[in-house]
Structure 1
Amino acid sequence: MPLPTPNLYPAFNIIRLSHVELAVTDLAKSRAFYVDTLGLQVTDETADTIYLRALEERGHHCIVLTKAEQAEARDLGFKVFSEDDLDKAAHFFKGKELPVEWVERPHQSRTFRTRDPHGIPLEFYAKMERLPPIHQKYALYKGVKPLRIDHFNCFSPDVDASVAFYNELGFRVTEYTEDEVSKKLWAAWTHRKGGVHDIAFTNGRGPRLHHVAFWVPTPLNIIDLLDLMATTGWLANIERGPGRHGISNAFFLYVRDPDGHRIEIYCSDYQTVDPDLEPIRWDLKDPQRQTLWGAPAPRSWFEEGSGFAGAEIVPAVLDAQPIIAP
């Protein structure tokens, strides 16, 4: 299936991804992972919720950890340009016969919840509480020194359909993987903010959250995190990497939090702001697609993910096998 023509004038203006809510079963263990190990900063905390931001971010939070009986992914948050765009967004989703529920969110202005056609829970807002800058408070730089949230990656049962829908929202494809036999998309990377992706889609049972990624200063920060995790009881939580992706050219590491939510540590991708940027195609069987150095990903990376609250998980329509590590 050919890629859709980029939609440069969508019905409303999404600036970027913003935040994610993760339901976790043990808030203390999650705090030890995200705060003490990764180095995210606590901006608010209650008996059952922790709000976190990274070091370059001025918005109040990029991750919300909520205590729950069952671990799951909840809303993926996106920031729109203005209150007018927020109303236009609500009108767009209602026009698609998708739910629009106006909700109260701490530290955010007017916010509505919805779902994409596959059931991924989304929320949109225009304004979040702004906090003083801390990017020059170097005493706060701990763990992997996370600077900002970078992207989401989701398992989609139909990547072509996901790309077509998010193209309507103005997301532009930067790179994609095509199955040579069926000519269908196996994965695609789409952006709003001018990096390789704000949200990507990977073929598989879904919808499920594959991972949330954080941008860090250098690959050496990733090495430091590996040393820290290997010597502080987190060795089993290291899943894949370090390495350099063929897709995006980024240096990466994948780790799992205490509930199995996957976190990517990420740096060194490239700028994609030009509206006429041509997407890069990869064949599913190219050994440099996953890792520029040729190392394939483990089976868990292709099969395991976090279920979304309230979303029915269905099989993928495309039956195509990537290269998997033995």
Structure 2
Amino acid sequence: MPVPAPVLYPPFNILRLSHVEYTVTDLVRSRAFWVDTLGLQVSHEEDGLLMLRAMEERGHHCIILRQSDAAHVHRLGFKLFDEQGLDKAAVWFKDQGLPTTWIERPFMGRVLQTQDPWGVPLEFYAKMDRLPNIAQKYALYRGVKPLRIDHFNLFSSDVDGAVAFYNQMGFRTTEYTEDAETQKVWAAWMHRKGGVHDIAFTNGFGPRLHHTAFWVPTPLNIIDLLDLMSTTGWRDNIERGPGRHGISNAFFLYILDPDGHRIEIYCSDYQTIDPDHEPIHWDLKDPSRQTLWGAPAPRSWFEHGSAFDGVDIAEPALKAQPIIAP
């Protein structure tokens, strides 16, 4: 079935994805991975809590790591255009029959917390503390030299439903994979900021977070990270890649943090700013959709994901299966 027409004047104005909060079981080891290996910058640190940002980001944080007994995803964050948009968002989510809560978050002020119909915990805000520009402080660059958070990808038990819901919030579909036999959408990529995606949905046991992605300057940064990980005790955390996706045209690498949270390192996609941008259709059986070149995705890439804390996971209604590496 075709994806829905974009809603160009949504009920509130989401600018982009912003941040994700993870719980981790060993914050010291997580710091060694996220900071010392990947190269994210520490913006706040206290007992049991670490907040990080990437090199081009002026907002206070894009990653929150919180010590816990179990590893989960706590919440996905999005930035709105203004404070009035927060109030409009609260009305809209209430009209959908979804819960809304107002909190004060450190470094962020007023935050609206809610969820989507499948229980994915979301939060929206308008203002985050701004930090000094470090984009040209090249002495701070290390690891893969992450420039900014780029997107979330979620396993979804109902991709068509997720696309329809997020479309109402103004997310526009750029590319999608369709199962020809059922004419159901198997995966979809949706954006707000003018790239290929801020959020994507992949058919599977969900909701779960498949990965969070970071944009890096060049493919060579990914090669440098592979050299670093393979010689500093993180070789087994390399899951897939490098390679190039057919979808998004991105040069990619997938790695796992110490708790198994998946991270994509990503560059080379394209702009989708025009409101009349037409979504690109892919057939599920086309092997070039997931891998234009490079090794096919391993089974773990289709099955492993990070659970949202306290959210029930459902079996996908669509049983179609893409190509899996032996």
* Smaller-chain TM-score bracket: over 0.9
Tell me the equivalent position of 2:202.
Answer: 202
Distance 1:63 1:201, change over 3 A: same
1:105: which partner in 2? 105
Match of 1:89 in 2: 89
2:138 and 2:61 mapped to 1: Cα distance?
19
Aligned to 2:27: 27
Partner of 2:298: 298
Instruction: List runs of 5+ in structure 1 lacking aligned partners.
Output: none
Corresponding letter in the other structure for 2:18: S
Q: Deviations over 1:223-251 (max 9, x none)?
A: 00000000000000000000000000000
Deviations 1:167-210 (A, max 9, x none): 00000000000001000000000000000000000000000000
TM-score (normalised: structure 2): 0.99
Secondary structure of the residue aligned to 1:131 is coil
Partners of 2:181 and 2:233 lie apart in 1 by 44
Q: Tell me the equivalent position of 2:288.
A: 288
Contact map agreement 1:237 1:256 (CA 8 A) in 2: yes
In the alignment, is residue 266 of structure 1 matched against residue 266 of structure 2? yes
2:254 and 2:295 mapped to 1: Cα distance? Answer: 14
Q: In structure 2, list runs of 5 or more residues that go unmatched.
A: none
Return the TM-score normalized by structure 1: 0.99
Match of 1:212, as an amino acid? T
Give 1:303 deviation, angstroms. 0.3
- Report if the CA contact (8 A) 1:288-1:294 is conserved: no
**Distance in 1 (alpha carbons) for counterparts of 2:241 and 2:106:** 36
Give runs of aligned pairs for residues 218-297 of structure 1, distance below 5 A.
218-293=218-293, 295-297=295-297
What amino acid does structure 2 have at the position aligned with 1:278?
E
AA aligned opposite 1:237 = N
1:133-148 equivalences under 5 Å are 133-148=133-148
Q: Which residue of 2 aligns with 1:160?
A: 160
Give the whole-Å Cα distance in 2 for the aligned partners of 1:227 and 1:285.
33
Measure how far apart 1:295 and its partner are: 3.1
Name the structure 1 match of 2:77: 77
Sequence identity (%): 73
Shift of 1:294: 6.0
Contact in 2 for aligned 1:238/1:255 (Cα 8 Å): yes
Instruction: Quote the RMSD (CA, aligned, Å).
Output: 0.6
**1:212 matched residue in structure 2:** 212
Give secondary structure in 2 for the equivalent of 1:287: coil
Maintained 8 Å contact 2:241/2:294: no
In the TM superposition, what is the alpha-carbon distance from 1:105 to its structure 2 partner?
Answer: 1.1
Poorly superposed stretches of 4+, deviation over 2 Å: none
Asked whether the equivalents of residues 176 and 280 of structure 1 are also in contact (C-alpha less than 8 Å), the reply is: yes
What secondary structure is seen at the aligned counterpart in 2 of 1:248? helix
Distance 1:83 1:287 in 2: 44
| AA of the residue aligned to 1:93 | F
Q: Matched residue of 1:110: which SS?
A: strand
| Contact 2:14–2:78 under 8 Å retained in 1 | yes
